[in-house]
Amino acid sequence: MSDSCDNHCPPMNDDHEVVKIAHGGGGRAMAQLLDGIFRPAFDNPWLARQHDGAVVDMPGAMAFTTDSYVVRPLFFPGSDIGTMAVHGTVNDLAMCGARPQYLSAGFILEEGLPLATLRRVVDSMAAAALEAGVQIVTGDLKVVERGKADGLYINTAGVGRVVAPQPVAPARVRPGDRILLSGDLGRHGVAVMTAREKLDLESAIESDCASVAPPVLALLEAGVDVHCLRDLTRGGLASALVEVSESAGVAAEIREADIPVREDVSAFCELLGLDPLHVANEGRFIAVVAEPDVARAVDVLRRYPVSEAAVEIGHFVQGAAGLVTASSMIGASRVIDRLSGEQLPRIC
């Protein structure tokens, strides 16, 4: 990189370049990195102002969320850390009954990370943001020494305007409320595992990472009284159900036979002794509505590709808070619990 570089730097030659400590130093190297990779990708008026922060209009109640992304490997079938970083935060805002609008993005880069990799992640984020209709308006960049940060960590925070007329939260869950599941389970966790674990197998399973804001907003716009929403991330459907039940002070009963799991995801789980109910998802959620609203809600959800397989899987009941039971395929019942520790592939 030459010393005399003005605002219109020629495009960076990524081919053999890597992130260096200087890129995080706040000086010229950092400016070149921002101009060369970040600004072109996230291009919007706030970033163009190059200010310490972004000032945005946010009338009414605002939803605010944050999440950090440390997935390994950075790229896996169907998605990558960048796409996850956008959709994850967008989805959390949607779960609050809000229209996602603005994101911040903080990057911690490992010295030695190839610039080409960084560009790929950033471009992915830009594409995901465009798809989700959000803008990345402010951000931060740090570089740490080789050996830390696994290549790249991302934190995103997001804000959105609450559009739900009533609060969307576990406190509104009542015994008798039905549980709608937006789609099949386990694709994301399995996709990441196939890329990470060197399992020596051929699989066509891709991550389900996607924004779920469109069907959620459609539900709200249709006037469906959504009592609660929860997206299924780490810990899978099981954790989401247990957490909502616990917070709401109710128990839940679900029907295992009605929970959609693709055959290949099911086979993968069988091979490694995993339970699909505990496997991570990145584009799935549960919606809790009163019984009379079920048919209309399912109808709305099924109009969107991300929730085209939406189905009612059970309901909440009076009972011990957090106790979730599932009737098995053969009719007897078992307790569904949160995952304990890490799911280890079993042989025995």
Partner 1 sequence: MCLAVPGRVISIEGDDPLTRQGRVDFGGIVKPVNLAYVPDVREQDYVLVHVGFAITIVDPHEAERVFHYLECLETLEQEADELEPGRPVPQ
Partner 2 sequence: MKYRDEYRAPDAARGYADAIARITTRPWTLMEVCGGQTHAIVRFGIDQLLPEAISLIHGPGCPVCVTPIAYIDKALEIAALPRVILCTFGDMLRVPGTQSDLSAARARGADVRVVYSPLEALTVARQNPRHEVVFFAVGFETTAPANAMAVYQAQREGLGNFSVLVSQVLVPPAIRALLERPGNRVQGFLAAGHVCTITGYEEYEPIAREHGVPIVVTGFEPLDILEGVYRCVRQLEQGESCVENQYSRAVRRPGNAMAQQVMQAVFQVVPRQWRGMGDIPDSGLGLSPAYRSYDAETRFGAVNGEAEMRGDCLSGAVLRGEIRPDQCPAFGSRCTPERPLGVTMVSEEGACAAYYRYRRPTGGSARE
Under the binding rule (CB under 8 A), the answer on residue 348 touching partner 1 is yes
**Residue 147 binds which of partner 2, partner 1, none (CB < 5-8 A, kind-dependent):** none
Among 32, 44, 203, 327, binds partner 1 (CB under 8 A): 203
Stretch that binds partner 1, among 78-86, 112-120, 128-136, 198-206 (CB under 8 A): 198-206
Nearer Cβ to partner 1 (329/348): 348
Closest by Cα among 183, 182, 181, 199 to 77:
199
Under the binding rule (CB under 8 A), the answer on residue 53 touching partner 1 is no
**Residue 11 binds which of partner 2, partner 1, none (CB < 5-8 A, kind-dependent):** none
Which residues ranging from 236 to 295 are in contact with partner 1 (CB under 8 A)?
Answer: 262-264, 266-268, 270-271, 273
Number of residues written out for the chain: 348
Nearer Cβ to partner 1 (44/203): 203
What are the DSSP calls for 249-300, one per residue? T-EEEEEGGGS---HHHHHHHHHHT--GGGS--SS-EEEEE-GGGHHHHHHH
Per-residue string for binding with partner 1, 284-323, x by CB under 8 A? ----------------------------------------
The count of C-alpha atoms lying within 13 angstroms of the C-alpha of 329, restricted to the half-sphere facing its C-beta, is: 3
**Residue 178 binds which of partner 2, partner 1, none (CB < 5-8 A, kind-dependent):** none
Burial (CB count within 10 angstroms: exposed 0-12, middle 13-18, buried 19+), residue 249: middle
Q: How far is the CB of 273 from partner 2 (least distance, A)?
A: 7
β-sheet bridge partners, residue 138: 104
Are the C-beta atoms of 63 and 98 separated by less than 8 Å?
yes
Under the binding rule (CB under 8 A), the answer on residue 198 touching partner 1 is no
Are the C-beta atoms of 119 and 33 separated by less than 8 Å?
no
**Residue 329 binds which of partner 2, partner 1, none (CB < 5-8 A, kind-dependent):** partner 2
Q: Where are the alpha helices (DSSP H) in 281-339?
A: 294-301
β-sheet bridge partners, residue 63: 160
Interface ranges with partner 2 (CB under 8 A): 199, 257, 263, 266-267, 270, 272-273, 320, 323, 325, 328-335, 337, 340-341, 344-348
Q: Where are the beta strands (DSSP E) in 223-281?
A: 226-231, 251-255
Are the C-beta atoms of 126 and 42 separated by less than 8 Å?
yes
Under the binding rule (CB under 8 A), the answer on residue 330 touching partner 1 is no
**Residue 43 binds which of partner 1, partner 2, none (CB < 5-8 A, kind-dependent):** none
Nearer Cβ to partner 2 (7/340): 340
- SS3 track for 2-65: CCCCCCCCCCCCCCCCECCHHHHCCCHHHHHHHHHHHHHHHCCHHHHCCCCCCCCCCCCCEEEE
If you ran DSSP here, which 8-state letter would residue 114 be given?
B
The residue count for binding partner 1 (CB under 8 A) is: 19
Q: Which residues bind partner 1 (CB under 8 A)?
A: 199-205, 262-264, 266-268, 270-271, 273, 346-348
